[in-house]
Amino acid sequence: DLQLFGVLAEAPQAEALAALEEGLEDADARHPELHRRSYAHFAASRPQHLGGGLALLRRLQALEVDLDAEDAVGQTPLFFAAREGTFDCVDYLLRDKCDVDQLDRHGQTPIFYAAREGHLNIMRLLRKFGASPDV
């Protein structure tokens, strides 16, 4: 549902969680895609001023949504979280055993996007979980 993708990306956390619960009542709605991006991609990139995406990622995982799914360019939710600098989401995804050195179709890893955006704390966290420093 396109509307739910928009709510997950831009609404305050309480509204996003409520919309997610309502939108996922139907089991078939648990694995939708927008440009091959799942709800987890949108949750991982939610900015902190909206409450971040950690609560949404936890709920999605409880519903058995794949938190390591690739979009059309081979990026997982970890790429989105690293690029946006959402530390709690990066940490959660890494603890869920997401591939820290996954290559996207551009030959880049999550640490590249964290470096490009200047997220040193994310780079340190990715290194702690074994990410290659080669970007």
- Other CB atoms within a 10 A radius of the CB of residue 2 amount to 8
Per residue of the chain (135 residues), give pLDDT as tens: 556 666 677 777 777 777 777 766 654 444 555 446 678 888 898 888 887 889 889 988 988 888 998 988 999 999 999 999 999 999 999 999 999 999 999 999 999 999 999 999 999 999 999 999 886
Angle between helices 77-84 and 120-128 (to 10 degrees): 140
pTM for this predicted structure: 0.81
- Other CB atoms within a 10 A radius of the CB of residue 92 amount to 21
CATH 1.25.40.20 fits 2-128, yes or no: yes
